[in-house]
Amino acid sequence: MTETDQEESAGLSPVPLMEISTGFWASKTLAAAHELDLFSYLSCEGPAGLERLATRFGLHARPTEILLTACVSLGLLEKSGEVYANSPLAEKYLVRGKPEYFGGWIEMADRREYPAWGRVMDALRNNQPTTWDPAQQQGIFDGEDPVMLSVFWEAMHSLSTGTAKVLGRTLDLSGVRRLLDVGGGSGAFGIELCGRYPELRADVFELPFVCDLAEKKIAQAGMGSRVGTVPGNFQTDTSLPTEYDAVLLSLVLHDWDEDDGRALIRKCFSALPPGGLLIISELLVNDDKTGPADAALMSMNMLIENWGRNYTAAEYAQWLSEAGFTEVRTVRFTAPGANGAITAHKP
């Protein structure tokens, strides 16, 4: 048997490499269709044929057909005869104004992260982010273009909304009355969790300008009486607000290095009362650091975005124990921005 025969019998093929290397084909197809507002148009106007869609978007017939065929192949559209309509996936998540609209993340990934990933070798060689310039900026938001900043926070809201729904179903928070969402961005977690638990009230602890953004989202959701904001900086403030029986760190710790992460956990410990609950929600890397791919690749994304990486449940457990927490537990689930939560109590 030749070496080639042995490889074929073992199931070896370059096909997986082809799929990996061309992954951006699918992401750019999705981004282009979203930028055209194809999904929102079909949702509003109903199924349409190629000619009508080409006219609506000002495209030639050839690229329109190519795009539509690609979207059908990706499960974004459905085709019946010569007419195209949104798939259930697109109708639920890609139509502007829908409660679980995910387009903010798609736009951010395309406009902010895709160009920065083109310089990933710079990030690897220099150990510095490429979405912003540490030589010219003090932090990720310093001097950022207002339009891009708006895209960034809309993306975080998209990602957090879906993740918060799963977290709320997975963890039993019925005993929690006051929750502090540290680094809570637009308030998506507070909105979703308070919507699920009638006795819960939540506050978002964020930078002042982010609090302004959060207050708009909170008002739009009709949750102003249940979800509030507290301006602050969890990195530079010496302490966190108290009088909360639970603190949430969701999609926060992966942004920062180990020293900053440990310091923030210590602040959470000091702020909580005895019996208080800390929740860490993240894409967790396996303890043996072999995957999973979504967590490992998000860690690569942290390389181009900031100073952190995605950590393991064992690493978080060690940090929590060193800070004084007990009853450390890992709960696994599947969500857009996280695959698990670490919970711990202050004795």
Q: Identify whether 34 is a catalytic site residue.
A: no
What CA–CA distances, in Å, run from 249 to 11, 29, 51, 72, 181? 43, 33, 49, 38, 6
Q: Which tokens hold the place of 319? A: 């940090």
> Residue 193 corresponds to which amino acid?
L
Cα–Cα distance between 201 and 178 in angstroms, integer?
5
Residue 50's CB: how many other CB atoms inside 10 A? 17
> Which candidate in 34, 60, 157, 254 is catalytic?
254
Kindly write down the DSSP assignment for every residue of 4-16, as one continuous string.
HHHHHHTT--SHH
Strands 178-182 and 201-206: parallel
Burial 200-238 (b: 16+ CB within 10 A, else e): bbbbbbbbeebbebbbebbeebebeebbbbbebebeeee
In sequence order, the β-bridge partners of residue 203 are: 180, 228
| Residues marked as catalytic | 254
